Amino acid sequence: MSVLIVGSIALDTVKTPVEEHADLLGGSASYAALGASFFSPVKLVGIVGNDFPAAEFDFWKSRQIDADGVQRVEGKTFRWSGEYAWDMNTRETRSVALNVFEHFRPALPESYRETDFVLLANIAPALQSHVLDQMKRPRFVVADTMDLWIETTRADLDALLPRVDLLILNDSEARELTKETSLIKAGRKIRKGGPRYVAIKKGEHGALLFSEDEFFSCGAYPLEDIHDPTGAGDTFAGGLTGYLASAKREPTFSDLRRAVIYGSVLASFNVEAFSLERLRTLTMEEISARYQIFKAMSEFESLG
C-alpha cells in the first residue's frame, strides 16, 4: 500500500561544531519520503523552485517515490539554515527563506486521492488539513508538527487533531502543547484532544507511544558518531508510516510498536551523515540487522 506524504522540500545549510555544508537536500517531506520508501511506495506532495536539482526527481523515481504531486514553479526553493551546539541536540535556526513555499497550496493529483495511509509531515497545520480535505477517507493518518505551529497557529492545529490517527511530536513540544511537565500526562492529554495514538520522541532517550489503554516505551540506538541530526524526526515519521502501510491492514498496537522501532532505526541511520546521504546508500539488510538489536534492547520478545 502506498503512503501519501506532504511536507517541505528544502535546500539546507547545516553547521555543526565540526563541519558546515550548504545547499543540501532537506525538508520534512524529503526525509520522510525516503524513510518510508524502504517499506512502501510513496506519493510525494510538495513544491520546489527552478533551482532544484533535476537529479533528485530521477533519484525519487528509482526509489518508488512518485513525484507527480511535486509542483515545480518559477522562483527559488525553500531554504533553511541551522546550527547545532556541541550536544548535537540543541539547534538554532540561522535563517529561513520561504521562497516558493510562501504561496504553497498543496493540490493532489487525482491518482493520489484514494491513498490509504497519509503522513502529514511538518508544515503549517492549515495546509495539512487542506490535504485531508482533498482525500477520500484515508485509512490511517499520521501527523507531525513543531513548536512554531503550537505557538503561532494553535487553532489550526487543534482543528487538525481530531482528524489524525497518530500524532508525532517531541518531548518539549508535547509539554508546550499541554502545559504538563510529565510526558505521561502530556501524552494522555493530547489523546483526549483527538488523535487515537500519540508518539512522543525523546531524542537520544527514545520514544513513547500511547493508545487509550496501552503504552510502549523504547530506547534509542546507542550511536557513537552523530554527524547531522537534521531530519531525524522526519525520517522517524516516514519509516514508521511506511512500515504501517506495508502491513496492509488497520494498524494494531503491536504494528504501531514495531513501527516505532523501525522509525527509530531509520532515524538512527539518518544522523550518521549529512542531509540524506546515509539513507541513499542504506540497505534493507542493514535496517533488519539494527531492528534486531533494537528488539533485543527493548525486550519485546512477545512480538515475534
Is position 8 an interface residue for ligand AMP (rule: CB under 6 A)?
yes
Residue entry with cell 510502549: 216
Cβ nearer to ligand AMP, comparing 1 with 97: 97
- Rounded CA gap, 75 and 269, in Å? 33
**Residue 268 binding ligand AMP, by CB under 6 A:** no
Start-end of H helices in the chain: 28-37, 55-62, 125-133, 147-152, 154-160, 171-178, 183-192, 232-246, 253-270, 277-281, 284-298
For residues 4 and 168, which CB has a smaller minimum distance to ligand AMP in the complex?
A: 168
User: Counting contacts by CB under 6 A, is residue 228 touching ligand AMP?
Assistant: no
- CB-side neighbour CA atoms (13 Å) of 225: 6
Q: Which of 4, 13, 26, 118 binds ligand AMP (CB under 6 A)?
A: 26
Give me the residues paired with residue 293 across strands. none
What's the CA gap between 175 and 171, in Å, rounded? 6
Kindly tell me which of 175 and 185 has the beta carbon lying closer to ligand AMP. Answer: 175
The site that binds ligand AMP (CB under 6 A) totals a number of residues, namely: 15
For residues 63 and 94, give the distance between their C-alpha atoms in angstroms, rounded to a whole number. 32
Amino acid at 179: K
Q: Which of residues 131-160 bind ligand AMP (CB under 6 A)?
A: 148
Q: Which residue is nearest to ligand AMP (CB)?
A: 26
Selected range binding ligand AMP among 44-52, 133-141, 211-219, 231-239, rule: CB under 6 A? 231-239
CA distance 259 to 253: 10
Q: Is 231 among the residues that bind ligand AMP (CB under 6 A)? A: yes
With binding defined as CB under 6 A, does residue 85 bind ligand AMP?
no
Between 12 and 116, CB nearer to ligand AMP: 12
* Least distance to ligand AMP, CB of residue 1, Å: 24
- CA 270, CA 225: separation in Å to the nearest integer? 11
* Site for ligand AMP, rule CB under 6 A: 8, 10, 12, 26-28, 80, 122-123, 148, 230-234
